[in-house]
Amino acid sequence: TQLLEQSPQFLSIQEGENLTVYCNSSSVFSSLQWYRQEPGEGPVLLVTVVTGGEVKKLKRLTFQFGDARKDSSLHITAAQPGDTGLYLCAGAGGTSYGKLTFGQGTILTVHP
């Protein structure tokens, strides 16, 4: 069974601070995705990383895939209240082709 562990589980910060969310596994994934979910809505895809060591930037968000394709991180610079939500990492491929394995999520609250 492939498992993804996210940390921290909760994060409460002030507007303008930086933060990093981690996603770790003992399994290798073909790709790693990050989703953001707001209350009452389904998750929305932010980014997909597919190459070990890959770094992708999306405005103030930076995503990194570990060299061994077992871990990933999401870094947010100068967080804003609009960044508040549940952040989920999800691994695809490996031993579960075509299926996503989700982490338990990180609840981020950014206070104005």
CB of 9 to another protein, least distance (A): 8
CB nearer another protein, residue 15 or residue 41: 41
Q: Which long-range contacts (CB under 8 A, 24 or more apart) does 99-102 make?
A: 100/33, 101/2, 101/3, 101/4, 101/29, 102/4
Q: Please, what is the minimum distance in Å from the beta carbon of residue 13 to another protein?
A: 19
CA–CA dist 54, 31 (Å, integer):
11
* Spatial distance between the Cα atoms of 17 and 107, rounded to a whole number of angstroms: 16
List contacts with another protein (CB under 8 A): 4, 6, 30-31, 33, 40-45, 48, 50, 88, 90, 92-93, 96-105, 107
Which CB atom, from 39 or from 82, has the smaller least distance to another protein? 39
